[in-house]
Amino acid sequence: MRVIPRPRAGATAGESSHLYSRWTPYLFLLPYLLVFLAFRLGPSLFGLAMSFTRWSIVGSPEWIGTANYDLMQIDPRLEVALKNTAFFTGLTVPLLVILSLALAIFLNQPHKGRALGRIAAFTPYVLMSTVVGVLWTWLLEKDFGLVNVYLEQLGIAGQPWLVSQDVAMYGIILTTIWWTVGYGMVLFLAGLQDIPAELYEAARIDGASSWRLLRHITLPLLAPTTFVVLMLTIINSFQVFDQVYVMTSGGPGTATLTLVQYIYTTAFQNLRMGYGAAIATLLFAILIVFALVQAYLYRRGVTGTASQ
Amino acid sequence: MTTKTLIKVIWYALLALLILLMLAPIAWMISTSFKPETEIATIDVNWIPRNFTTENYERVFERFAILRWTLNSLIVSSAATALVLLLDSLAGYALARMHFAGRSVIFGIILSMLFVPMQITVVPLFLMFAEVDLTDTYLALVLPVGANVTGVFLMRQFFLNIPYELEDAARVDGASTLRIWWSVVLPLAKPALTAVAIVTFLSTWNSFFWPLIATRTDASRTLPVGIAQFMSLRPGQAQGAQAYGQAMAGAVIAALPPIIVFYMLQRYFIEGISMTGIKG
């Protein structure tokens, strides 16, 4: 490729003080930095600036100061989107963390067949989001969907999963958990591998029960992993979009309208680019708060105590 | 003895339940895709289709450019992976092994973008590509992936830990820095390159939000965006059954290749994911 930088002549071991020419590091960095500037840093700053404009795709942008942010405070749909996203995150995150931890511990038991269980639990995560969305739209179908058919057979009334305002979000949450629980499990399994077996042996010799081993060795030593899984899940949950777009498009009504779904509708369906950028900035602000909390907790040693 | 056996029996029962819960939806997807419309819209559960048919698949190939979407996804994901490996291993090497003014500032700015959600870049990116009339092209899908942060971070972390002696030996032999990077450092970095390649390929292959916005026609539409269209076949409850057979056929076509690749390469998959998950 043409973008490979060429090192300067003279950048050889001959000159002991110069292992490489002064410009070599910059030439190595240049290709990435150009792409980074043009497609990441630049657009991020551009997006921030756009949030202070009114900009529909035709016509030119108009500087309107903080008007978009003023509008956000009285926008009922944004309020709904925030509440829905918080509800989705508040339910999905604890369920995912607990279930994936339980799965990891369960599939770490020394029984034959556990590898099969691990592969099965991870398989849904291999599927692309829209395949998962299409599949679960069918599974959660009101009349003939597999979930309702089996629920009825068990004597439980079927739910109008995706077509009722009351339960649509639960349908999305169920789908998300099935899809991503294997991801958390893999991270927890990696964490379990790092716990020295001698700790368990020593505790067993002292007559500790399985419950005490779990409570006093496994869980404390998994704290750093739990922290990572928790943070990744929170960040991903706040950005939930794909399943929602495919399964409900934010409906029925606004029952599953999430923040990113609202950004999409605002910017690319209603073509209010400026306001869309402002909502994206709000999402950024929310995520940065989580990042700061994370950094603070990390410094405080919540995770540090148990790691090396 | 008896409690031990009991625990084992319960463990295997739970294992069976787990495998069932995780895999039954996929089995049902395959089963539905081979059923005629009339057999889909019933409350009778037939795991083996009674009236086996490939009609849904024929319709899907007839009505949708699903092979084109797959090809687009393959081209975009491969190109993006190659681009990321080249850019990130060059940049990561400089950041890890060279001293120069502004190094920590540059690295800091790169890392800070980890906290900026990609949604904030999407509106400007769209306007930028629209300005130069490059929306709905491979370029619009590939280039933004090249700006990823985790790859640079992982490559830098890896390069920090390789011994200096190997580079020094090559330098004494008169090799240029680019030559050392290519023939000494990169071969050592195979594990990191593999992890970055797998994660980049997967995330590009599965990427939905940006391709949904950037593509307009089948010429560049990727598989996830194409698959999402199957749900627009679902105008009302009455027609639902007719659509689901085709939707499931489309889903199977999109799902099987990744599942097969995963079963063949699962160790690399899981290593790549736990590596980037923990460290990213």
- Vertex A73 angle, CA A65 and A261, to 5°: 95
Does A172 or A12 have the greater pLDDT score?
Answer: A172
The residue type at A230? L
CA dihedral over A210, A212, A218, A219, signed as positive or negative: positive
Closest Cβ–Cβ partner in A29, A126, A225 for B259? A126
The residue type at A218? T
Closest Cβ–Cβ partner in B43, B110, B247 for A138? B247
Structure tokens at B102: 């502004």
Q: Which residues of A touch B269 (CB under 8 A)?
A: 122, 126
Q: Which residues of A touch B233 (CB under 8 A)?
A: none
Report pTM. 0.89
Does B77 or A195 have the greater pLDDT score?
Answer: B77
Angstrom distances, CA of residue B160 to CA of A22, A65, B132, B189, B230 = 20, 46, 40, 11, 47
Tell whether B278 lies on the interface with A, counting CB pairs under 8 A: yes
Three-state DSSP at A273 gives: helix
pLDDT single digits (tens) A251-272 = 899 999 999 999 999 999 999 9
pLDDT score of B267: 75
Does the pLDDT value for residue A294 go beyond 90? no
Instruction: Name the band, by pLDDT with cuts 50, 70 and 90, for residue A301.
Output: low
Does the pLDDT value for residue A47 go beyond 80? yes
Maximum mean pLDDT: which of A152-156, A277-281, A289-293, B240-244? A277-281
The low-confidence residues of chain B, meaning pLDDT below 70, are 1, 232-242, 272-280
Which fold is adopted by the domain A69-299? MetI-like fold (1.10.3720)
Structure tokens at B201: 């390929």
Give the up-direction half-sphere exposure of residue A136: CA atoms within 13 A in the CB hemisphere: 31
Structure tokens at B5: 């056996």
Q: Could A138 and B224 be called an inter-chain contact, meaning their C-beta atoms sit closer than 8 Å? A: no
Structure tokens at B253: 């076509």
| Alpha-carbon span A290 to B15, nearest angstrom | 36
Q: Tell me, what DSSP letter sits at residue B230?
A: G
| Alpha-carbon span B101 to B106, nearest angstrom | 9
Q: Distance from A263 to chain B by nearest Cα, in Å?
A: 8
Q: Percent of chain A beyond pLDDT 90? A: 66
pLDDT single digits (tens) A48-81 = 999 999 988 777 888 999 999 999 999 999 999 9
Residues 139-158 of B with CB under 8 A from A: 143-144, 146-149, 152
> What's the complex ipTM?
0.89
For an interface test with A, give the residue of B120, B199, B203, B215 to mutate (most A CBs within 10 A). Answer: B120
Compute and round to an integer the Cα radius of gyration of chain B.
24
Structure tokens at A193: 């591998």
Strand partners, A53: A63
Tell whether B213 lies on the interface with A, counting CB pairs under 8 A: yes
Does residue B135 contact residue B126 with C-beta atoms inside 8 Å? yes
Q: Which residues of B touch A139 (CB under 8 A)?
A: 25, 28
Going by DSSP bridges, is the β-strand pair A53-54/A62-63 parallel, antiparallel, or unpaired?
Answer: antiparallel
Closest Cβ–Cβ partner in B32, B146, B273 for A186? B273
Residues 50-109 of B with CB under 8 A from A: 83, 86-88, 90-91, 93-95, 98-100, 103, 106, 109
Q: Distance from B71 to chain A by nearest Cα, in Å?
A: 16
Residue A186 exposed, middle or buried by CB count within 10 Å (0-12, 13-18, 19+): buried
Q: What is the 3-state secondary structure (H, E, C) of A40-108?
A: HHHHHHHHHHHCCEECCCCCCCEECCCHHHHHHHHCHHHHHHHHHHHHHHHHHHHHHHHHHHHHHHHCC
Closest Cβ–Cβ partner in B106, B172, B208 for A129? B208
Stretch A168-187: mean pLDDT, rounded? 96
Provide DSSP, B50-107: SS---HHHHHHHHHS-HHHHHHHHHHHHHHHHHHHHHHHHHHHHHHHH---TTHHHHH
Give the helix/strand (H/E) hosting A186: helix A168-193
pLDDT score of B165: 85
Does residue B91 contact residue A33 with C-beta atoms inside 8 Å? yes
CATH for B64-233 (1.10.287.130, 3.40.50.620, 1.10.3720.10, 1.20.1440.130) = 1.10.3720.10
Closest Cβ–Cβ partner in A4, A36, A182 for B147? A36
Does the pLDDT value for residue A17 go beyond 50? no
Closest Cβ–Cβ partner in A12, A121, A142 for B174? A12
| Alpha-carbon span B217 to A136, nearest angstrom | 26
pLDDT single digits (tens) B186-207 = 999 998 998 899 889 989 999 9
pLDDT score of A15: 37
- Vertex A280 angle, CA A274 and A96, to 5°: 160
Burial A243-253 (b: 16+ CB within 10 A, else e): bbbbbbbbbee
Please give the residue of chain A at the shortest CA–CA distance from B181. Answer: A28
Closest Cβ–Cβ partner in B87, B241, B277 for A144? B241
Stretch A120-145: mean pLDDT, rounded? 94
pLDDT score of A10: 41
Closest Cβ–Cβ partner in A130, A146, A183 for B28? A146
Q: Could A146 and B274 be called an inter-chain contact, meaning their C-beta atoms sit closer than 8 Å? A: no
Does the pLDDT value for residue A8 go beyond 50? no
Domain segments of chain B: what residues?
A: 64-233
Q: Which residues of A touch B125 (CB under 8 A)?
A: 39, 43
pLDDT score of B1: 61
Q: Could B178 and A109 be called an inter-chain contact, meaning their C-beta atoms sit closer than 8 Å? A: no
Taking the mean position of all CA atoms in its chain, how far away is CA A277? 20
In 10 A of CB B105, how many CB atoms? Answer: 9
pLDDT score of A307: 41
| Alpha-carbon span B256 to B248, nearest angstrom | 12
Provide DSSP, A190-225: HHHHTS-HHHHHHHHHTT--HHHHIIIIIHHHTHHH
Q: Could B146 and A35 be called an inter-chain contact, meaning their C-beta atoms sit closer than 8 Å? A: yes
Domain segments of chain A: what residues?
A: 1-50, 69-299
Q: Could A121 and B212 be called an inter-chain contact, meaning their C-beta atoms sit closer than 8 Å? A: no
In 10 A of CB A90, how many CB atoms? Answer: 12
Q: Which residues of B touch A7 (CB under 8 A)?
A: 176-178
Please give the residue of chain A at the shortest CA–CA distance from B171. Answer: A13
Does residue B140 contact residue B79 with C-beta atoms inside 8 Å? no
A-B C-beta contacts closer than 8 Å: 293
pLDDT score of A210: 83
pLDDT score of A9: 44
Q: Tell me, what DSSP letter sits at residue B117?
A: -
When the pLDDT of each residue in chain A is averaged and rounded to a whole number, the result is: 88
Please give the residue of chain B at the shortest CA–CA distance from A11. Answer: B176
Helices B240-279, A114-126: inter-axial angle, 10-degree rounding = 110
Does the pLDDT value for residue A151 go beyond 50? yes
